[in-house]
Amino acid sequence: MNTLDTDISYLKGVGPKKAEMLNKELSIFTFHDLLHQFPHRYIDKTQFHKIGMLREDSGEVQLRGVLRRLSSVGQGRKKRLVGRLRDDTGMLELVWFSGAHWLEKQLEVGKEYVIYGRINSFKGKLSMPHPEMEEANPEKIKKAATFAPVYPSTEKLNSKGLDARNRRRIMKSLLEKIKPADVPENLPAYLVQKFRFPSRYDALRSIHFPKTEQELQAARNRLKFEELFFLQLRLLQIRRRRDAIKGFNFERVGEAFMHFYNEKLPFELTGAQKRVLKEIRRDLGRGVQMNRLLQGDVGSGKTIVGLMSMLIAIDNGFQTCLMAPTEILAQQHYNSISDYLEGMDLRVGFLSGSVKGKKRRELLAALEAGEIHILIGTHALLEPPVVFKNLGLAITDEQHRFGVAQRAKLWKKSQPYPPHVLVMTATPIPRTLAMTLYGDLDVSVIDELPPGRKEIKTVHKTENNRMRVIGFMRQEIAKGRQIYVVYPLIEESEKLDLQNLQDGYEALQREFPMPEYQISVVHGRMKPADKDYEMQRFLEKKTQIMVATTVIEVGVNVPNASVMVIENTERFGLSQLHQLRGRVGRGAEQSYCILMSSFKLSNESKERIATMVRTNNGFDIAEADLRLRGPGNIEGTQQSGILNFRIADLARDGRILQTAREVAARILDDDAKLERPEHHPVRWYLEKHGKKLKGWSRIS
């Protein structure tokens, strides 16, 4: 057995109780697990600070001095232990709020200590709560003069004797146990050489106890690469394997497509649309099932690309379907696609839960008979009674992907191969993220807006500008425009949020009184039928203002709406703000987005708002979001464990990621089964650990 597979309870200093804590709190079970939980930061123990030089913002410091006093003060829950440390420049108060009894016995007044902790300031007086204390022993100090690792911990671990110092001690005893042969190289020697990486063994030692800054950098570099490389290798393998799934071969680009292109298409396609269409055409003609994600900002013209892809399927004798997440959206697609195809001999059907009775029966019969070419609807399309004669291409809009169950339903609808799948999403994702989240898919990007589109003018306003904003709204309404006013609504504060919206609505009613003005209200707590009714009134221009929570976020198209007012902007995430703004700017008129916020803002909120004001580009915004919030918080990625990196950071390590992906692709091109001797280390490691690296985003 490899030493690394040893149960953690066998490690010196751990034992069954602590092992259980490590299992439970950190999922650390074996030596391997422990070795691969890396410090999230380091304490510089090569330097001592002087007490006289400390300032409010000194942060974490190491000091050396004599303990001068130690006494318990206060009563009951306020009880605490207070000590004083003195060096040749001054005196600092030390405070412990718990563990006083035990500490009082351990510590000795008059002795010299090396202490470590964070400087705290209360009314100008500096102190250090809960310092780490170690007797100052010259031998020890010399040995400890390194960067001491700090590991991610939990309250529980800290209180059960697995505090920072203890964790370090355990790591030390682990590293004493591990020999180079226990952690064999997992990268090909030629790569280690080329990138001048330290060996895996050295890197793992250094990442826990680096002696110098350079050594730490080198270790980090290698381990980041390693992590990203194996993930990319795995994703690319999955993608190659999927390439083996047979699919319908649409060889022809025939009459419907050409007729539409030459006679019907009301505008010139943008360069990006043409490119993407070419990518899709190639996919459809390879005899392999297509799994493509189409990313494009709101208004970039994804629908027409979807439609033209469907025409290719139709030209090859197949049926197609288009699914949208809501009834209103599906209806909008149905209307616009029917308009586009007017005068062509193609039949478009609409299906949702609300299509019932005879209408439904007739539709389903026509579908099964192959008389319907394009079926548009909600996910009701996936239900068992819906039978196609020959479904060749399925498109979904405004959704990241199908769930597993939906995928199974879809595949059942088509014989002998699964239908080709195109997923259209208006949530731009930064490149590094896409390479990881969708690393096993084909991704197309429409990164160009149709010409002549006016940039949405975005401004930031606070409460004292309220009257001016109202005045502006009146002006726009007088010009015949419509306006959205959006309020945040989150589950945790739902009651307050709804009240907030209600207050806002009433205030607006005073400023925009009936009968001159009409206001719609839509929020997530309303019955779907009531929501639809209100939406419909707005669509039909019966109301001028739509007050809403984020329910309008998903895709509604009201070209006449040209002003988006967002309330409590600071409470929205960047990608949400961008999606909301995308609701306007759909018509020929100049559109506006007004970001209302309180006067006092955190730095992050300020930066978010500044980003919105600066750019309309969804990809720029997504990059900023990634920088500000980190990959784990980007919308749509939370559930996916794939982003729980041990050491890599997608917001920062884009270049390493790019290299890792290229290297992985080259290796698979040259030696798909990793059979060459130089690739044996890779194959061995992948076999042992690769299962944990799952392709997350299989969309069909």
Nearer residue to ligand ADP within complex by CB, 303 or 543 = 303
How far is residue 664 from each of residues 87, 187, 198, 659, 668, measured CA to CA in Å? 55, 11, 19, 8, 6
Nearer residue to ligand ADP within complex by CB, 301 or 631 = 301
Q: Please select the residue that binds ligand ADP; options are 299, 392, 504, 585, rule is CB under 6 A.
A: 299
Q: Please select the residue that binds ligand ADP; options are 91, 126, 269, 477, rule is CB under 6 A.
A: 269
Q: Please select the residue that binds ligand ADP; options are 296, 377, 430, 488, rule is CB under 6 A.
A: 296
Find where tokens 């690769």 sit.
690
Nearest approach in angstroms of CB 426 to ligand ADP is 6
Question: Amino acid identity, residue 524?
Answer: G
Site map (CB under 6 A) of ligand ADP, residues 121-140, x = contact: --------------------
Residue whose Cβ sits closest to ligand ADP:
301
Q: Please select the residue that binds ligand ADP; options are 232, 295, 300, 544, rule is CB under 6 A.
A: 300
Nearest approach in angstroms of CB 298 to ligand ADP is 4
CB within 8 A of 620, min separation 6: which ones? 611
Q: Does 597 bind ligand ADP (CB under 6 A)?
A: no
Nearest approach in angstroms of CB 386 to ligand ADP is 24
Instruction: Give Dmax (Cα) for the chain.
Output: 97
Find where tokens 């900002």 sit.
297
Question: Amino acid identity, residue 277?
Answer: L
Site map (CB under 6 A) of ligand ADP, residues 424-443, x = contact: --x-----------------
Say how far apart CA 440 and CA 245 lie, in whole Å: 14
> Three-state DSSP class for 666?
helix
Q: Which stretch binds ligand ADP (CB under 6 A): 269-277, 363-371, 455-463, 616-624?
A: 269-277
Q: Please select the residue that binds ligand ADP; options are 270, 320, 331, 544, rule is CB under 6 A.
A: 270
Nearest approach in angstroms of CB 299 to ligand ADP is 5
Nearer residue to ligand ADP within complex by CB, 336 or 354 = 336
Q: E-assigned strands of 37-131?
A: 41-44, 60-73, 80-87, 90-96, 112-118, 120-122, 125-129
Nearest to 519 by CA among 550, 563, 467, 483: 483
Q: Which stretch binds ligand ADP (CB under 6 A): 125-133, 294-302, 405-413, 484-492?
A: 294-302
Count of residues interacting with ligand ADP (CB under 6 A): 15
Half-sphere exposure of 179 (CA within 13 A, CB side): 3
Q: Please select the residue that binds ligand ADP; options are 157, 298, 311, 535, rule is CB under 6 A.
A: 298
Q: Are the C-beta atoms of residues 305 and 276 closer than 8 Å to each other?
A: yes
- The residues pairing with 422 across neighbouring beta strands, listed in sequence order, are 292, 395
Site map (CB under 6 A) of ligand ADP, residues 229-268, x = contact: --------------------------------------xx
State which of positions 388-427 bind ligand ADP (CB under 6 A): 426
Nearer residue to ligand ADP within complex by CB, 555 or 681 = 555
In degrees and rounded to multiples of 5, residue 506 shows phi and psi of -65, -40
Provide the pairing of β-strand 420-425 with 348-351. unpaired
In degrees and rounded to multiples of 5, residue 49 shows phi and psi of -90, 160
Nearest approach in angstroms of CB 312 to ligand ADP is 17
> Three-state DSSP class for 693?
coil
Say how far apart CA 155 and CA 680 lie, in whole Å: 42
Say how far apart CA 469 and CA 596 lie, in whole Å: 9
State which of positions 302-321 bind ligand ADP (CB under 6 A): 302-304
Instruction: Report CA dihedral (163, 165, 171, 173) to the nearest 10 degrees.
Output: -120
- The residues pairing with 460 across neighbouring beta strands, listed in sequence order, are 595
Nearer residue to ligand ADP within complex by CB, 552 or 664 = 552
State which of positions 447-506 bind ligand ADP (CB under 6 A): 450
Burial readout 118-142 (b: 16 or more C-beta within 10 A, e: otherwise): ebeeeeeebbbebbbbbeeeeeebe
Q: Does 585 bind ligand ADP (CB under 6 A)?
A: no
Q: Please select the residue that binds ligand ADP; options are 6, 62, 221, 273, rule is CB under 6 A.
A: 273
Nearest approach in angstroms of CB 327 to ligand ADP is 17
Q: Which stretch binds ligand ADP (CB under 6 A): 35-43, 298-306, 593-601, 644-652?
A: 298-306
- The residues pairing with 116 across neighbouring beta strands, listed in sequence order, are 62, 132
Nearest approach in angstroms of CB 270 to ligand ADP is 5
Question: Amino acid identity, residue 62?
Answer: Q
When computed from its CA atoms, the radius of gyration of the chain, rounded to whole angstroms, is 31
Nearer residue to ligand ADP within complex by CB, 303 or 697 = 303
How far is residue 315 from each of residues 257, 319, 395, 413, measured CA to CA in Å? 7, 9, 17, 20
Residues in contact with ligand ADP by CB under 6 A are 267-270, 273, 296, 298-304, 426, 450
